[in-house]
Amino acid sequence: MAQQDLGDKVFLFPRQDDHSHATLIPEQPRPLRSFTVCLRSFTELTEYSLFSLATAIEDNALLIYPLSENTVSVYVGNEAISFKVDEGLHEWKHTCVSWNSDTGVIQLWVNGKLYPRKVCNRGYSFPASTRIILGQEQDSFGGKFDKCQSFAGEISDVHMWDCVLSSENIQKVLLKEMNGNVLNWRSLKFQSKGNVLIEPDVKSRSSTVYLPCAKT
């Protein structure tokens, strides 16, 4: 297990496969009844797993899963909610999702823009023991990956909190002025397997090529 300040780094997933991933280790594992997750991503794919959190009994305890250029699906406790979002070019996107167990209210921001709030799995709670993975969608606790649901591209600035952040604080996160208290990109504990690279967060990425999963 490594622990690094990745403030000027990215995880680079060069191509889709069924094994390459990074497992993120929370600062202090504990049950959660609310959360906010934020991260940046850059990819040419339209359908992929962006953030996967599983428990021993629920593979999609928390899953952020873009389905197309204008649809993002979010699972909480295996219950799915879809958001219609603006179609984007192949550029960096900053995505934040928050949820509160008491109300079930779930919120999605993309590049600082808040989309209409929805309600998902009111009363659910996350146990202390979870597995958080980037690069793959978990079909079981920590494993059973599908190549065509995997991620290819770059991910950075991954943060998670044990509360719902205000809109004002979401803007601070967008400006890299806040760090998570569950996951903190500036002091991240993680393990990587397969073809996962840690690269500088450079300004120009025009020469990077990502290979999508071939459809048969």
Condensed to tens digits (0 to 9), the pLDDT of residues 132-154 reads 999 999 998 867 899 999 999 99
Question: For residue 210, which of 157, 156, 150, 158 has the smallest C-alpha distance?
Answer: 150
CATH number of 2-199: 2.60.120.200
Lowest mean pLDDT among 1-5, 20-24, 35-39: 1-5
Distance CA 24, CA 13 (A): 15
Report whether pLDDT(214) > 70.
no
- Mean pLDDT, to the nearest integer, of 82-111? 95
Which whole-number Å values give the CA distances from 7 to 14, 71, 188, 209, in the listed order? Answer: 20, 29, 10, 23
Give pTM, 2 decimals: 0.92
Q: How many residues does the chain have?
A: 216
- Mean pLDDT, to the nearest integer, of 47-75? 96
The first and second tokens of residue 69, run together, are: 């250029």
- Mean pLDDT, to the nearest integer, of 164-187? 97
Please report which helix (H) or strand (E) contains residue 174, including its range.
Answer: helix 167-174
Q: Are 103 and 121 in contact (CB under 8 A)?
A: no
